[in-house]
Amino acid sequence: MKTFRRLFALLFGGLVVLATVLVVKTIQYPVAPISNASDVAWQVDADSASLHLSQAIRIRTISTSDRNQRDLAQFEQFIAWLANTYPRVHASASRQIINGYSILFEWKGSNPALKPILLTGHYDVVPVEPGTESGWGNPPFSGTISDGLIWGRGALDDKGAIVAMLEAAEILLADGFVPERTIHFAFGHDEETGGTEGAGAIAAHVKASGVQYAWSLDEGSMVLEGILPGVKPRIASINVAEKGYMTVDLVANAPGGHSSLPPPDTAVATLAGAIDRLVKSPVPGGLTGVSGDFFDSVAGHMPFFQKLLFANQWLFAPVLERVLSGSAATNAMLRTTTAPTMLSGSVKENVLPAVAVGTVNFRLHPRDTVDGVARHIFGAIDDERIDI
């Protein structure tokens, strides 16, 4: 009995010490200060700005993997629309057209001794999957304005940013404003297909011109509200790293034939099993690097229990990762993501294909490499019938 009491006392004492440590570390967990930004005095015509974004969305500047299939007349229309919509910007800033369709503005500042800044965006958009148009609440290129929202391809990615920049510049110019520091606006036309003809060409042009920027701001992130449970202040998320890009084809080979006499192992079944195993074996994640820094900056504003978990990751890291992995937004911050996107097999419903192919897209976390993810793929699938 004495031994039992002694063990119980030790256990209870240990729990008290553990609870004390957890609470103290939570209380001491740093809380990032909230910036008290003041409103600017400029008057913005929200209806006019909304109409302009709506008009921009209606111009179908669609990027396609096959560059020969682009409707270049739409890109030319967008460039002409910018000139008509923002006349002060075009009158006050010099404009260069790079590679036929990308745009570089230079708005001269009053102090040439200061390094210029670079504000960038892109006006191409991704296509709409054929046959899915009826699933849109508003047509993808309608630019519908409804219930305080503007709907359509490019509203967020990324015509909205371009319109916002030029609306601001137009208002400032109308008020006679002259920036102290020179401002460059760079708008690419092929970001959705890699950006080599747009941003890449602009970067080469700027480098050849000997320009050195003080800083640059790309489309980056946005102001987050309600994305992280329990965090009430709005979060202006500044992106300081970008994921890499990797696409893999999984190829299954098997004897073809007729669907009336299917063998035990078909190419499609083998491929389906490989994809299933790969999806169920996510690339290892973790709250490290820029992702860890982000959560350290915001977790101090969470309710006590959530904050306790972040403040004591030495104990709760597995719990945190499991919870954060349950949301697409936070899961993508923890790890390289795995996304099967394309499938191909038979040309007819009653023909067994000899070859079935599944395409899987990975967005590489900064901690990972192509070779490392490739090793993960081989280990997760572990099937000699699959060529990767």
Choose, from 124, 190, 192, 321, the residue flagged as catalytic.
124
Burial track 257-295 (b if 16+ CB lie within 10 A, e otherwise) = eeeeeeeeebbbebbbbbbeebeeebbebebeeebeebb
Query: Where are the alpha helices (H) located in the chain, listed in sequence order?
Result: 2-27, 46-58, 72-85, 87-92, 159-174, 199-208, 267-279, 289-298, 304-311, 313-324, 328-334, 370-381
What is the residue type of 55? Q
383 catalytically annotated = no
**CB-neighbour burial class of residue 37 (10 A; exposed 0-12, middle 13-18, buried 19+):** exposed
124 catalytically annotated = yes
Choose, from 158, 170, 190, 191, the residue flagged as catalytic.
191
What is the DSSP code (8-state) at residue 193? G
**CA 290/CA 287 separation, integer angstroms:** 8
Comparing CA positions, the residue from 284, 86, 296 lying closest to residue 171 is: 86
**CA 319/CA 243 separation, integer angstroms:** 25
Tokens read off for 331 = 């899961």
**CA 83/CA 77 separation, integer angstroms:** 10
Tokens read off for 33 = 């200060």
Helical axes 46-58 vs 159-174, angle rounded to 10°: 140
Contact 362, 373 (CB under 8 A): yes
Tokens read off for 87 = 């006349």
**CA 216/CA 28 separation, integer angstroms:** 35
Neighbours of 228 (CB within 10 A): 20
Catalytic residues: 124, 191
